[in-house]
Amino acid sequence: MSERKQVSIDQSVQQTCTGMDEWNSKFFVNDKENPYTMDPDRPFLWIRGRQVGGRSIIWGRQTYRWSDLDFEANLRENVGIDWPIRYQDIAPWYDYVEDFVGISGQAEGLPQLPDSRFLPPMEMSCAELVVKDAVAKYFPGERVMTIGRCAILTQAHRGRAACHYCGPCSRGCITRSYFSSLNSTLPAAQATGKL
């Protein structure tokens, strides 16, 4: 039986994760060996990893700050309870974590998408630039298309090399250019001598 077919049998839930394929299936649990229960009226697909580094190995590395619009949504919409904090309370912690992680992106000054202290943005593809120009032309001042804000280094940062765009990020990163606990937090913790 082909590896792809075996994945579809053993990891039927896990394969719904867009970043999962037969090359990196080892990062995801075997659904047959690790079943879970759920209410059949409210199905839930639980993407689970089982490796040192946890979900930091299998996330998409898109990194966006919540804005006041997010923190105040419950209050404004009278849904649930109000958040006990606001953006200005957590902004210094965003700065701290993002500096450690290394976030590439483009500052846009949008109230709904707070800026970070970005590393240089990745370049848009030719197709993305065409769409960006069309958005600017047909929605002037109303819509902004920006490059994704992601935990992938575009320049050397904290002892990690810049991404060289080899492509298969979901299979791991030999240059440690994308953030994961294996590339960043665990080595930093180990360097303290207290791990």
Please list the pLDDT of the chain residue by residue as tens digits (195 residues): 788 888 888 999 988 888 888 888 888 899 999 988 889 999 888 888 878 888 888 888 999 999 999 999 999 999 989 999 999 999 999 999 999 999 999 999 999 999 999 999 999 999 999 999 999 999 998 999 999 999 999 999 999 999 999 888 888 888 999 999 988 999 999 999 998
Q: Which residues contact 63 (CB under 8 A, 6 or more apart)?
A: 98, 101, 103, 116, 149, 150, 151
Residues 82 and 44 in one domain: no
Residues 186 and 142 in one domain: yes
Do residues 31 and 14 touch, judged by C-beta distance below 8 A?
Answer: yes
Residues 43 and 97 in one domain: no
**How many angstroms separate the Cα of 35 from the Cα of each of 49, 55, 56, 123, 182?**
13, 18, 22, 42, 27
What total number of domains does the chain contain? 2
Q: What is the pTM of this model?
A: 0.83
Report the pLDDT value the prediction gives residue 49, as an integer from 0 to 100.
Answer: 85
Residues 89 and 163 in one domain: yes
> 6 lies in a domain?
yes
C-alpha 90/C-alpha 126 separation (Å) is: 36
Residues 96 and 11 in one domain: no
Residues 90 and 123 in one domain: yes
Do residues 109 and 117 touch, judged by C-beta distance below 8 A?
Answer: no
The boundaries of the domain holding residue 181 are 68-191
> 35 lies in a domain?
yes
